[in-house]
Structure 1
Amino acid sequence: MPPFLKCQAEEIIDDIDEIFVEVDEILDETLLDFQDLKVHDLKEAGLELATETKENIVNFATKIYRTFKPEEGVVNYEKDRPVLYELIENNLWEHVMDRLESHPEEASLTIERYHKSNPNKLAWRMLPIHAVCYPIITQGSKDGDIIRCGIRGPVEVVKKLVQIYPEGAKVQDDLGMLPLHHVCRNGGNIHAITMILDAYEAGINVRDKKGRTPMELTRTSRAYNKSFVLHFLSRVEQSTRE
């Protein structure tokens, strides 16, 4: 049995044990009070026991279902990652555009990768658009600092992904980051930012798991164009408040 299934099976067994312990406790309490119960009280006690047991069984069955049925729209990087994601990883952008034309459904697939040393521990989780918007880092000449500039993929790919699956602009990855967060981490590609905000303007105020908004990530970046991007984002943020 794979390690992750073994772990889930052990959790389910523990749940079964908890259910039986709870049922035993309820029965003991009912039997202790039996001599003082009237018929209608005994009936109510039985109904209460049946209801609680039913709820426990439903919860238990739901957990089994979720354990052995993969989440819809989520794929495992090691086992069945989509061709689209492989093309993105290899920066084959013309082929990415062709793949989006022939298999648009892959734009909405969430890719999960787990640690090899611990198959139960999530390494990362993202949509293709997160991967395309991931910042690239190049060596800058200004005071020897590293200047974050640009995103991994062409703006045309971002546009295509947003057109095919606009809901992707609202999806947070395992770090709580929207595609917009990733674009803004490098100071921002203004064209990509505009496309993503057109799909989800409220994303300007969303915070990642570290409590950072896209604007705050821009503010702490070392990008040459961050002043321009900050001005643009400030205007968008203001419009969301009005």
Structure 2
Amino acid sequence: MADDSVSKDVRKASASGAPKKKSALSELFAPVAGFGVSFSTMFRKVATEEYPEKPRPTAPRFHGRHQLNRHPDGLEKCVGCELCAWACPADAILVEGADNDDTPGGAGRFSPGERYGRVYQINYLRCIFCGLCIEACPTRALTMTNFYELADNDRGKLIFTKDQLLAPLQEGMLPPPFPMADGMEERDYYQGKVTAATDSQRTYVDARDASEDAEAHAAAHDSDASGNVGAALPGEHDVVHATHPTAAATREGANP
């Protein structure tokens, strides 16, 4: 008796779960139902972005091209510590630090403190825009902008150098090298006590530029006297050198 009751339950379950036969009308309109979804979307508003004619604005914290920031007087915030290069998981950053030299005849001062970033390169063929370099920077010298149009058909142009990454001079800033503000130390810069370039710094930069202009004028006069003048087309000269410098010799800190 127990076996008979079990078999009856199995038959009832199989009968209830058996697929029902579709009607001929539903089978006829089944293919049309799929086209109905496509047809209904034809009258909706188009969500296509008209790029690059109308680029969409990015989020405020978007990870775009990097930027090396400056202090309010124009000195660079980067101290050449290379922590950003160590934190980069893609090995896309190359940094070479150097000492600030305020002695007469020295290279000058480019940042507060002892060192500055002499060479700074970012290879955007490797960069994954993760932002770990920003977190590692102890002086807040490196940040990321909202600029993202970095595509190019030349691989060499995607290795950005320091002159491309350095923030432009704003109002009240001076182009380094020049001494720190009078009576200020390195920590005073990062505490926000320096708000703009001082009069003594402006006087130093004006004297430096005047001296460089005089030296350039004297060098041009000497070259004219020796007869080594430039040709009519830029880049061509009347003196042809037997050897040409290699890329490593002409581009400071270039990747191999």
Q: What TM-score comes out, normalization by structure 1 length?
A: 0.23
Query: Where is the helix percentage greater, Structure 1 or Structure 2?
Result: 1
Q: Which is higher, the Rg of structure 1 or of structure 2? A: 2
Q: What TM-score comes out, normalization by structure 2 length?
A: 0.22
The structure, 1 or 2, with the larger RCO (C-alpha pairs under 8 Å, 6+ apart) is 2
